[in-house]
A and B are shown apart, each in its own frame.
Chain A
Amino acid sequence: MSATIATMEKATGAMSAAELASARHSRETVGDFTTANPRMTCRDVDVWYGSKQAIKGVSLDIGKNEVVSMIGPSGCGKSTFLRSLNRMNDTIVGCRVTGSIKLDGQEIYDKGLDPVPLRARVGMVFQKPNPFPKSIYENVAYGSRIHGLTNNKAELDGLVESSLQKAGLWNEVKDRLDQPGTGLSGGQQQRLCIARTIAVSPEVILMDEPCSALDPIATAIIEELIDELRQNYSIAIVTHSMQQAARVSQRTAYFHLGDLIEVGETNQIFTNPQHKLTEDYITGRFG
């Protein structure tokens, strides 16, 4: 809890209630958007689609070994923000990103920075499971093949196995690695996509509503997996399910019409949000 009465008791009189009230309704981000051990730091990020501004001055850190969830109503820009973190927005015509997004202190929108290796460092899992229409083995091996991560077949086999194991899929598919990845169930496909992503050893994994096409059991398996992956990766997840955000993430950011309204510890956001918009959204009230 960032604002406790205990701290207030030490320093009363900093701000009047009226001042606080007016601050609450400006679009300044409420809460602390920094984190102790950041991997990605975003400052004053604006994203434009042509003349339309989709993201307005968002600052947010993604820390090491933490899951940051991004919630908000449809069209609030959370997916746009996520996609600007590995420059997937580059493929969209008329999309511009300004401000600073750094990965381990390195500006990712630098002119000289190649987005192709960046996307190997910042992997992405998409809303709809999208395995390649190739075998399970090839799906996982593909990233290593194009980046030349392994030297021989044995190493590649090892990488495929360890990636599938980390994704919790190995036991289910080890006997049918040559079968098409598209023949798996939805939840298995999504885990295959996660295995494919972690096969290139990214530092950050972005997940864009990874469970929205899955049934509750498959969702639970993925959530469990996300919690395990946290040990080794930084994870940013966009989700429509507030329960999911509450379950999997350590910090939660609430987006509204392109603004980052509030960010904070997940516990605090879900028990005591500071901003009225956040509260209205997560309690399901009329805007």
Chain B
Amino acid sequence: MNNPAPTQSGATPRRTIDIVNASLKRRYAQERRFRLVGVFAVALGLAFVVLLFTDIISKGYTAFQQTYIRLPVTLSQDIIDPTGTRDLNAISGANYNKLIRDALRQQFPEVTDRRELRQIYAMLSIGAPQLLREQVMADPGLIGTTQEIWVLADDEIDMLIKGNIDRHAAQSDRQVSDETIAWVSRLEQQGRIAKHFNTIFFTHGTSREPELAGIAGALMGSFYTLLLTLVLSFPIGVGAALYLEEFAPKNRWTDLIEVNVNNLAAVPSIVFGLLGLAVFIGFFGVQRSTPLVAALVMTIMTLPTIIIASRVALKSVPPSIREAALGIGASPLQTQFHHVLPLALPGMLTGAIIGMARALGETAPLLMIGMIAFIVDIPHGFNDSATVLPVQIYLWADSPERAFVERTSAAIIVLLAFLFLMNLAAVLLRRKFERRW
């Protein structure tokens, strides 16, 4: 009681800084928790991406190699070019199958049974004679010699070599017979079996035979489709955005259009396929299953994306630039094309490329317009029948052969690579245009 100061200080209200300090710990803890949740969410997403990629790559990378059997093929003049005129028609029509079979049979002189011979012949791809024919026609000088030629093996042998078929399993549980395994083992010991880079995968169209199936047709189909889609949708989309954003009167009609453009962006893509089927194929009579009709459908599908992205890009251009241009007597069109558009272009390009990436990965609407057809030939124009990568993936995924599984994954790898390249292009384009000022 002698010193009243402590009682007084006890009675005074707590200072603000004390209250703040008391709650500070709680606030920091909250912040830490929030950060942890964020890190966890990002980690989870990354984990799934890694899982997806490892799964696809581990399944798919083997498809980039293909098993070949080295055979000493006697390219007998009697069989290939009996007349000796080196007439390409004659060379083309020769029986290469017999040449290869003979060569293979020489490796197994002890086999005479017809059933077993058929099994031996089955080790070779059905496409092997065709490949040999191409080889000979490319170099007619080979005729009359005996060459060590790498002959394409059947997909089952391929699987066996790649270890996808268990050699020690019971014969009934695998598709390759014990005899075949023994023959393959012998050929392996002789060094007559090897895996080479799978050029067929990149140069051929699809096929019923996995070892002959390639993505070239689908790739070209996707390329033609995307090219045409970009050529159609970018100018139309940018033009529509420019008009809506800068020139159109603001009234109920433009509001309605704006709402509908936004809604269209959210419409399921298969609806666009139905639309394409009804309008372009049904009404306008465009040939089905072509890059042309696919591009038309994709254009309609990507337009809303491009329009919305372009409008956002236009909105982000400061109005002071427009005022500046108008203020020294530029016409509205000059203002847009000299000043606003260049500034908005990076954003518009990003939108376009995102739309293109979506179009590249789109399957559903293309099924509706006949892109699902089995097309072996590589398209050479906008009006050739074609398929596209995602549809090809879908078709292969449906096939029962074990060898198609790795090809499906390989095709997915290629598709992802293209998506990655397109996104990279978007980033680079942005940089380039933004660096101009």
Q: Do A and B bind each other?
A: yes
A206 nearest CB across to chain B (Å): 8
Residue of A nearest to B331 (CB): A116
Q: Which residues of A contact B322 (CB under 8 A)?
A: 91
Q: Which residues of B contact A86 (CB under 8 A)?
A: 327
Q: Which residues of B contact A147 (CB under 8 A)?
A: 329
Please, how many angstroms separate the alpha-carbon atoms of A124 and B325 in the complex? 10
Contact A126–B320 (Cβ < 8 Å): yes
Which among A91, A130, A146, A193 is the interface contact of B329 at CB below 8 angstroms? A146
A90 nearest CB across to chain B (Å): 9
Contact B326–A88 (Cβ < 8 Å): yes
Please, how many angstroms separate the alpha-carbon atoms of A134 and B325 in the complex? 12
Residue of B nearest to A94 (CB): B250
Residue of A nearest to B251 (CB): A93
Beta-carbon contacts under 8 Å, B301-350 to A: 318, 320-331, 334, 338-339, 343
- Number of B interface residues at 8 Å Cβ cutoff, please give it: 20
Q: Which residues of A contact B329 (CB under 8 A)?
A: 116-120, 143, 146-147, 200
A31 interfacial contact with B, CB 8 Å: no
Beta-carbon contacts under 8 Å, A173-208 to B: 180, 182, 193, 196-197, 199-200
Contact A133–B343 (Cβ < 8 Å): yes
Q: Which residues of B contact A182 (CB under 8 A)?
A: 437
A147 nearest CB across to chain B (Å): 6
Beta-carbon contacts under 8 Å, A94-151 to B: 116-120, 123-126, 128, 130-134, 142-143, 146-147
- For the residues of B in contact with A, the DSSP-based class is helix
* A88, A117, A142 interface centre (most CB from chain B within 10 Å): A142
Residue of A nearest to B436 (CB): A133
B32 nearest CB across to chain A (Å): 41
Please, how many angstroms separate the alpha-carbon atoms of A133 and B437 in the complex? 6
Q: Which residues of B contact A134 (CB under 8 A)?
A: 437
Q: A93-B250, A133-B343, A146-B334 are in contact. Are A88 and B328 (CB under 8 A)?
A: no
Contact B328–A130 (Cβ < 8 Å): no
Q: Which residues of A contact B338 (CB under 8 A)?
A: 142, 146
Q: Which residues of A contact B323 (CB under 8 A)?
A: 88, 124, 126, 130
B285 interfacial contact with A, CB 8 Å: no
Please, how many angstroms separate the alpha-carbon atoms of A128 and B318 in the complex? 11
Q: Which residues of A contact B318 (CB under 8 A)?
A: 130
Which among B249, B320, B326, B328 is the interface contact of A200 at CB below 8 angstroms? B328
Please, how many angstroms separate the alpha-carbon atoms of A197 and B249 in the complex? 29
Q: Which residues of B contact A193 (CB under 8 A)?
A: 324
Please, how many angstroms separate the alpha-carbon atoms of A125 and B329 in the complex? 13
* A93, A116, A117, A182 interface centre (most CB from chain B within 10 Å): A116
Contact with B along A207-218 (1 / 0, CB 8 A): 000000000000
Contact B250–A146 (Cβ < 8 Å): no
Contact B330–A146 (Cβ < 8 Å): yes
Contact B327–A124 (Cβ < 8 Å): yes
Contact B321–A132 (Cβ < 8 Å): yes
Contact A130–B330 (Cβ < 8 Å): no
Please, how many angstroms separate the alpha-carbon atoms of A125 and B318 in the complex? 16
A160 nearest CB across to chain B (Å): 14
Q: Which residues of B contact A133 (CB under 8 A)?
A: 321, 343, 437
Which among B250, B320, B331, B437 is the interface contact of A130 at CB below 8 angstroms? B320
Please, how many angstroms separate the alpha-carbon atoms of A100 and B334 in the complex? 29
Residue of A nearest to B250 (CB): A93
Interface residues of A (CB under 8 A from B): 86, 88, 91, 93, 116-120, 123-126, 128, 130-134, 142-143, 146-147, 180, 182, 193, 196-197, 199-200
Interface residues of B (CB under 8 A from A): 249-250, 318, 320-331, 334, 338-339, 343, 437
Q: Can you name 15 extra interface pairs (CB under 8 A) apart from A132-B325, A133-B437, A134-B437? A: A119-B326, A119-B328, A119-B329, A123-B328, A124-B323, A126-B320, A126-B324, A132-B324, A133-B321, A143-B329, A146-B330, A146-B331, A146-B338, A147-B329, A196-B328
A-B contact list, 13 entries, CB within 8 Å: A93-B249, A117-B329, A119-B327, A123-B328, A124-B323, A126-B324, A126-B327, A132-B325, A133-B321, A133-B343, A142-B328, A143-B328, A146-B331
